[in-house]
Amino acid sequence: MVKRRRHAEIAGGGIAGLTAAILLARAGWTVRVHERAEVIREIGAGIFLHNNGLLVLEEAGLMKDLAPLGTRLLRDHMVDWRGRVMQSRDLGTPVTRRWSFPRQALIEVLHAAALRLGVEIVTGSTIDSARAEGLLVDAAGREHGADLVVGADGHRSAVRASLGLTRVERRVPTTSIRFLVAGRELAPEPTSTEHWSRRRRVAFAAAGHDHTYVYMACPEWDEAGSRVPLEVDSWSEHFPRLRHAFELLHRLEPFKAHYSWVRAEPWSAGRAVLLGDAAHALPPTLGQGSNLAMSNARSLVTYLEQGDDVPAALRAWERAVRPTTDATQRWAGYYDRLTKHWPNALSPVRSAVIWAFGVSPQLAGRLRRADRTPPVTELPAVRVTT
Ligand SMILES: Cc1cc2nc3c(=O)[nH]c(=O)nc-3n(C[C@H](O)[C@H](O)[C@H](O)COP(=O)(O)OP(=O)(O)OC[C@H]3O[C@@H](n4cnc5c(N)ncnc54)[C@H](O)[C@@H]3O)c2cc1C
């Protein structure tokens, strides 16, 4: 007897939704993605991909398309207000490796791969709610039944809200300003350098042979730091050696964002599951939001492959991957607070703390647990005892 192909309906055509679509389609599922926007596109400048996310892209055969569009970074520097290096990490090992890309490049590669695999992508389709028996309901009231429904609809997830899974959803009071700058003058080497001064950070990273990714962060209550176009004098007062960069950035169109903190409990209800920011939006300080989304999507497919009991697979998957996700979210929060709340008078102590995280394998291991945790690609065989 020919086995029926299982079907998935996914809300959200961002990194989480498209990755899940690709991986499910590769595993033999039929898949439909509903994206509220009229086109599939990313909002933002650049993105860092770490080992856990890269493993997923490599296994799916997508790195050959992506690699020419990004940069494999070799080192990551953290520099204090005096220009002293607080930390310099080697990104050349299998677990510390990091690539940086223009965001749009990643979403285009995922979009093209999903289409090649026969995923149906419906743009202009807003999902209003989901039901645990395996149903997405769109804004026109149409019901889309499936063996699995996925809420990958971002930090304000309608799917999560309709299933009553939201425990925390709050805006983090940090301003994030990002640029994708044409050319590599600001980052000629394949490195990423993050400068810290009082409660502000600014970083420059190569992102492909002809782009530089710049991100800046400060507390939301820092009005001069949060303003766009960029306040050259205010930023130069914090980082005098970077004035030339701020003069250039002042003339460019920034992406200004705030980020969110989401806790959902549990991540699934019946046949409905949350992925990516819908489940666990976190500050971007460790660059793990998308990487966790991709890695968790890969693990999810492994659990679904075990049998036909979708709700049981979703529960087992969450038990397996949630501890690393929760720990990463917690550490990303500490990192965010290290910039925002540290007393200015104690900046030298903070430099020492950052140094310690660079040299202690134990501390680095806790901070970067997600980088070191590959997705689950196989499960131990169940031992049957008689
Ligand atoms: C400043 C900043 C820097 C970051 N840097 C990194 C980094 O370097 N590395 C990293 O891994 N992560 C990073 N992140 C985190 C990363 O961007 C997110 O974790 C990731 O984009 C989440 O993807 P997602 O698909 O879950 O959600 P989203 O990207 O929010 O996608 C959700 C999609 O669903 C659609 N949608 C929403 N509601 C509905 C609905 N009701 N019906 C249908 N469609 C809907 C939206 O239009 C969107 O396309 C960063 C985040 C920020 C803010």
Residues 30 and 142 occupy one common structural domain: yes
Assess if residue 121 is contained within a domain: yes
- Cβ(76) – ligand 1 distance below 6 Å: no
- Express each pLDDT in 168-177 by its tens digit: 999 999 999 9
Same domain, 309 and 319: yes
Mutate-to-test residue for ligand 1 from 120, 153, 177, 178, highest number of ligand atoms within 8 A of CB: 153
Segment 147-206, tens digit of pLDDT: 999 999 999 999 999 999 999 999 999 999 999 999 999 999 999 999 999 999 999 999
What ranges make up the beta strands (E) of the chain?
A: 7-11, 30-35, 46-50, 71-73, 75-79, 85-90, 98-102, 120-123, 127-131, 135-138, 143-145, 148-151, 166-182, 191-197, 200-206, 211-219, 255-264, 268-269, 272-274
d(CA 262, ligand 1 centre) in Å: 12
* Residue 295 C-alpha from the chain's centroid: 10
CA 106–ligand 1 middle distance (angstroms): 12
Last residue of a domain, one of 236, 258, 280: 258
Last-in-domain residue among 258, 291, 311: 258
365's CB contacts (< 8 A; 6+ apart) are 372
CA 323 to chain centre: 17
Question: Mean pLDDT throughout 346-359?
Answer: 91
Distance of alpha carbon 192 from the chain centroid:
17
Token pair belonging to 138: 């769109």
263 and 239 assigned to the same domain: no
The reply to whether 187 and 238 lie within a common domain is yes
Q: Is 48 in the pocket of ligand 1 (CB under 6 A)?
A: yes
Token reading at 351: 């430099």
pTM for this predicted structure: 0.97
Pairing of strands 120-123, 30-35: parallel
> Which tens digit of pLDDT belongs to each residue from 229-263?
999 999 999 999 999 999 999 999 999 988 999 99
What 3-state class would DSSP assign to 13?
coil
Ligand 1 pocket, 36 CB below 6 A? yes
Could you tell me the CATH number of the domain that includes residue 61? 3.50.50.60
Burial of 266 (0-12, 13-18, 19+ CB in 10 A): middle
CA of 277, closest atom in ligand 1 = 26
Q: Does residue 310 sit in the same domain as residue 166? A: yes
Residue-wise pLDDT tens digits, 38-78: 999 988 899 999 999 999 999 999 999 999 999 999 999 99
Cβ–ligand 1 distance for 35 under 6 Å, the answer yes
Q: Are 329 and 294 members of one domain?
A: yes
Structural domain span for residue 140? 7-68+103-171+259-372
CA angle 152, 158, 163 (to 5 degrees): 95
> Considering its fold, how many domains does the chain have in total?
2
pLDDT of residue 383: 54
